[in-house]
Amino acid sequence: MPDYKPNQIIRAFAVMALIAAFVLVVVIIATSGGGSDGGSDNGSAQKPSVSKAGQRAVRRGVWIVHSGDTLGSISLKPGIDVTSLQQLNPDVDPQTLLEGQRIALR
């Protein structure tokens, strides 16, 4: 039976490929930016910037629903969280917002 001698070049290449794959996974995860809240904001939550339309709506105390609006998108403009909007508007169904409908902001 002939002696088996493993090819050292192939072994070195396999180790380098494994390291490169690991580095690639780490880079992809680090640059993905997340997207999941995960529940740990460490108290550093930033308040979204208020748009001009949001400022006017807050002064008036009411938001008039436009086509494509959701409670989430409405809450971002004046900087009010969705839970507060739902509490202020218990009769509003978030799934069936109608164009022209009024949403109380305070």
Confidence label for 40 from pLDDT (cuts 50, 70 and 90): very low
- Domain of 77, CATH number, reads 3.10.350.10
Q: What is the pLDDT of residues 55-105, one digit of tens each?
A: 777 777 888 888 888 888 888 877 888 888 889 888 888 888 888 888 888
What pLDDT, on a 0 to 100 scale, did the predictor assign at position 43?
46
Give a yes or no: residue 89 inside a domain: yes
Q: Would you say 53 and 73 are in contact if contact means Cβ atoms under 8 Å apart?
A: no
Reading the block at residue 70, the tokens are: 């959701």
Which amino acid does the sequence have at 49? S
Give a yes or no: residue 62 inside a domain: yes
Q: How many folded domains does the chain comprise?
A: 1
Give a yes or no: residue 10 inside a domain: no
Give a yes or no: residue 17 inside a domain: no
Strands (DSSP E) along the chain, which ranges? 62-64, 102-104
Which residue range is the domain that position 80 belongs to? 52-104
